[in-house]
């Protein structure tokens, strides 16, 4: 609006940059405005799946946790799965610098400050040194 209160310029959705349109459409789909009930049901099942995943992870950890420590259970015999995770983790660290910086900081803290300490033992770090 200009000083007199009249519309100085009008921009429609089609006039916006294509990236703005894609982002706007993605937000609308995410919020459930497109495709009606089906979109909302898909979003509901995705949310329920994440809840089930979080709860089942906690239950599996609780069953395998070592006594009187918070940390991860001792690793199983097959360490091949751990090696498979390293590649994607390094790729994510390169593509997402905040993730990479956080991972490096946590690795440094774990290797220097927590090894051999009571806090490290409570976190289960001593059990993972196999």
Q: What is the pLDDT of residues 1-20, one digit of tens each?
A: 567 788 888 888 888 899 99
For 104-114, how does the pLDDT look when each residue is reduced to its tens digit (9 = 90+)? 999 898 888 88
Of 125, 9, 22, which is closest to residue 69 (Cα–Cα)?
125
What whole-number distance in Å separates Cα of residue 77 and Cα of residue 79?
Answer: 6
| Total residue count of the chain as it appears in this document | 130
Residues 6+ apart with CB under 8 A from 65: 71, 73
* Helical H segments across the chain, by residue range: 18-31, 36-64, 80-95, 97-109, 118-122
Structure tokens at 55: 């709860």
For 84-101, how does the pLDDT look when each residue is reduced to its tens digit (9 = 90+)? 888 899 999 999 999 999
At residue 130, the pLDDT reads: 42
At residue 49, the pLDDT reads: 97
What whole-number distance in Å separates Cα of residue 120 and Cα of residue 127?
Answer: 10
Could you say which DSSP state residue 125 is in?
T
For 30-86, how does the pLDDT look when each residue is reduced to its tens digit (9 = 90+)? 888 888 888 888 889 999 999 999 999 999 888 887 777 777 666 666 667 677 888
């Amino acid at each position: 609006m200009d000083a007199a209160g009249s519309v100085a310029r009008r921009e429609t959705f089609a006039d916006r940059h294509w990236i703005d349109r894609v982002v706007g459409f993605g937000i609308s789909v995410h919020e459930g405005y497109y495709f009606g009930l089906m979109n909302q049901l898909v979003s509901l099942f995705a949310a329920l799946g994440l809840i089930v995943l979080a709860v089942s992870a906690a239950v599996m950890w609780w069953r395998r946790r070592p006594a009187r420590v918070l940390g991860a259970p001792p690793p199983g015999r097959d360490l091949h799965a751990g090696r498979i995770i390293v590649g994607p983790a390094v790729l994510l660290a390169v593509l997402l610098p905040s993730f990479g910086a956080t991972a490096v900081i946590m690795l440094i803290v774990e290797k220097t400050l927590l090894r051999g300490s009571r806090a490290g033992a409570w976190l289960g770090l001593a059990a993972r040194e196999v």
